[in-house]
Structure 1
Amino acid sequence: MPKTSPKIHADPNIGFAWLRMIGAITVIVDHSMPLLHPDRLTIFPASWHMSPGYIALMGFFAMSGYQIQDSWARDPSWWRFSARRLLRIMPPLVVVLVVTVFVIGPLVTIWPAHDYWTHIQTWRYLVGTTVLFYMQHELPGVFSGNPYPFSVNGALWTLPMELLGYALVLVVGIIILIGMPRWFLFLVLGGMVYTDTVLHATFEQHGLGGSLLVVPIGSTVSFLVPFVIGVILHSYRGKIPFRPLYAWILFAAYLGLSQTPASRYALALSAAYGAITLAMHWPKRLEAAGPWVYGSYGTYIWGFPIQQLFIFAGVREVWLLILLALPSAYVVGQLSWSYVEKPTQRLRRHLRAPAPKRPAVPPPVPTRARQLH
């Protein structure tokens, strides 16, 4: 990690945890508008062509790139790296899917119980979404009377893109290990930026390129641009100055360019540099509250179905939905952290790299032999 002042700055990992929680809350707030008014894509006015949730996701991917690259750099083992990533992303996902299919679904579906349990889509949702690349968004009769009946848990759509980011770190890391210079990362970034320019995805549409199974390629590339920037910022962290002033300048540039084609580049760079810099300069006084913000992943993946449940119960005001959903999602996220994520993270102790072998020490030469020599 770059140097920070331990007297005024928290551990950067605490900063990342805070920012992830703030990002998860921002996404939930932003979802509140389209869930009640499907003709709206964001809580911001349409004329702004800007979404706080999309900005938060850009920051999410940048922080992931930085932290996942750190994980790879500390232990460049392909199988341990892969196992750690799966242990992080899969157990909370499986829990939310099981609860959705076996608890929420039967309680709210308008279908008869027999039809719900025997319909292939029920099991396609469970299995396909667990696999991620065959993700499904609908369960038979579930939330079909809500204003937004198109998805039971729309927040999950970014998870396969996150997995592709992990795979990218693994592949590029192996290429560099076998002899490719580190600046190869800039070629990868250049290829991503060029592809993003061609596919032209935004928060308003997935762009060109079709889909990889059910994963939109255009949106994936757009999110992987800040992800790769995060990887580069970690790889060159000893040479790059992380200054809050520069982060604010980049964000101001993004705001100034937000109505122009250049906004896509300004957003990716601003979100990546800004999120990572802010994490490194997080106030020391907030460090003690770290355990209360570790549940961001659970908050993120539970927020959408919780919002749908409140809407199912009759909530029709955006402000009321936000007021009810945020604390509920936060509490469930903390429960996920305490009872799902922390226990499964402990399994990582079985994935520790073996200790380096010490060179064999030759036996001492007997005194008489030393004298003869």
Structure 2
Amino acid sequence: MRENNFDLLRLTAALGVFIAHGSLFYDLQISSFFNGVYSIGSLSVYVFFFVSGYLNFQSWSRGPQWASFATKRALRIFPGLLVAAFVSVFVIGGLMTTLDLTDFLAAEQTWVLFLNYASALATQNDLPGVFANNPIPHAVNGSLWTIKYEIMMYALLVVFGMAFGLSRRLLVAAVLVSAAAFLLVKDPSLDEGAVTWRDFWQFAAIFFAGAAFNYIPVNQRHWVIPPMLVGFVIACTGTNLAVVQGGVFLCLPCVVFLLAYWRPLTRIRLRHDLSYGIYIYAFPVQQAIAEISLRHGLSKPVYMVVALSLVLILALASWIVIERPAIAWSRSLVTSFRRYLVTRPF
């Protein structure tokens, strides 16, 4: 039996993003929490970053070598992302464009978007003649924008690990500085450009909170219940935006940590890790099915069921054909690299 529920939490987070986008793409409705500051989608993205920080701290601690760490992270992200970029642009985009397919493929914008997605930049989001009349117009795969921040967190983890060591004090300082920068600095210019620094700071706060939680013994996890409750009350009752966000920053990591080791959930066994596949395929599939559903008068439940079915099929195919083999390959490469370091003559 598994000792934790991180795979299940990631799957739940991926489905949370799917649900949040589902209503938005169909009729512009979205449920919000904590005085309208957060949706289930934005909270789910926080879950991803917390879990990533927690697990990648462990990965680095087991083998603090930047080349091995980078290899494993790159082969976890980019093979699936490359295929998802191709499917988003050339398959879904090619099927849904109102242009002649020859014109669509000849358009510079088509190829620019593919490269933009495949490189994890995701600073552009529209294709010629695609989703122009949807409730959320033009957006092809708007979920990919967070991946570049994930990669930046990996890089910071390596820099901190190599330069200073990932001590408890360093990680707590990283959390506090990042949270303070996000909550207190309100310069609008920080929200411009390929990297928006307010997003960087909020994700850094959650990611390094995940890393810092490794210093809390699992058998003493009950100590996070008081700050969790305090954060929840602050998030629910706060009238100032920064206060609400601060409450969520305090509450959510504690909730995820407690659920990660909640024994009843460990009985749920997942044969496949579909979370990444759901995340990278849901947006364009939902946009396509929303357009078809609205055109033909299909109800929202039908739209959601059809979209989820297709997304699960793509996610399963991505895991079996792309992601799992890439993970195995990365482990083989890292093992070979470590063997080379041990045996090479000096």
Which residue is equivalent to 1:242? 221
SS at the partner of 2:32?
A: coil
Counterpart contact for 1:229–1:269, Cα < 8 Å: no
SS at the partner of 1:141?
A: coil
Which residue is equivalent to 2:26? 36
Counterpart contact for 2:290–2:303, Cα < 8 Å: yes
Higher helix share: 2
Which residue is equivalent to 1:270? 251
**Which one of 347, 351, 358 corresponds to residue 334 of structure 2?**
351
Count of paired positions: 335
- The percent identity for this pair of structures is 26
Q: Alpha carbons of 1:61 and 1:282: their partners in 2 closer, same or farther (altered >3 Å)? A: farther
Which residue is equivalent to 2:138? 150
Whole-angstrom CA distance in 2 between matches of 1:69 and 1:117? 43
Whole-angstrom CA distance in 2 between matches of 1:105 and 1:37? 21
Of the structure 1 ranges 93-102 and 312-321, higher mean CA displacement relative to structure 2 is found in 312-321
Amino acid at match of 1:310: I
Matched, 1:192 2:182: no
> What do the CA deviations read for 1:134-161 (whole angstroms, capped 9, x no partner)?
5321111112222212310111111111
Which residue is equivalent to 2:124? 136
Which residue is equivalent to 1:221? 201
Q: Which protein shows a greater Rg?
A: 1
**Which one of 293, 303, 317 corresponds to residue 282 of structure 2?**
303
> What do the CA deviations read for 1:28-87 (whole angstroms, capped 9, x no partner)?
11112221334x5x3338963331111111111111110111111111101111111111
Q: Alpha carbons of 1:247 and 1:187: their partners in 2 closer, same or farther (altered >3 Å)? A: closer
Amino acid at match of 1:220: F
Q: How big is the shift at 1:226?
A: 0.9
Counterpart contact for 1:50–1:258, Cα < 8 Å: no
Counterpart contact for 1:125–1:136, Cα < 8 Å: yes
Which residue is equivalent to 2:3? 11
Which residue is equivalent to 1:24? 14
Whole-angstrom CA distance in 2 between matches of 1:164 and 1:280? 27
Whole-angstrom CA distance in 2 between matches of 1:215 and 1:34? 25
Q: How big is the shift at 1:357?
A: 6.5
Q: Alpha carbons of 1:67 and 1:208: their partners in 2 closer, same or farther (altered >3 Å)? A: farther
Whole-angstrom CA distance in 2 between matches of 1:238 and 1:55? 25
Counterpart contact for 1:233–1:240, Cα < 8 Å: no
**Which one of 157, 171, 182 corresponds to residue 169 of structure 1?**
157
Counterpart contact for 2:121–2:145, Cα < 8 Å: no
Q: Alpha carbons of 1:283 and 1:46: their partners in 2 closer, same or farther (altered >3 Å)? A: closer
Matched, 1:124 2:112: yes
After TM superposition, the score normalised by the length of structure 2 is 0.87
**Which one of 53, 59, 83 corresponds to residue 47 of structure 2?**
59
> What do the CA deviations read for 1:214-259 (whole angstroms, capped 9, x no partner)?
232212211221111111112x134993127457625632543454
Counterpart contact for 1:94–1:130, Cα < 8 Å: yes
Whole-angstrom CA distance in 2 between matches of 1:62 and 1:52? 15
Which residue is equivalent to 1:78? 66
Matched, 1:324 2:303: no
SS at the partner of 2:38?
A: coil
> What do the CA deviations read for 1:298-347 (whole angstroms, capped 9, x no partner)?
01111111111111212464443333322332232122111111111111
| Aligned counterparts, 1:253-268, within 5 A | 253-257=233-237, 259-260=239-240, 261-268=242-249
The answer for unaligned runs of 5 or more in structure 2 is none
Q: Alpha carbons of 1:28 and 1:250: their partners in 2 closer, same or farther (altered >3 Å)? A: farther
Amino acid at match of 1:117: L
Q: Alpha carbons of 1:100 and 1:257: their partners in 2 closer, same or farther (altered >3 Å)? A: same
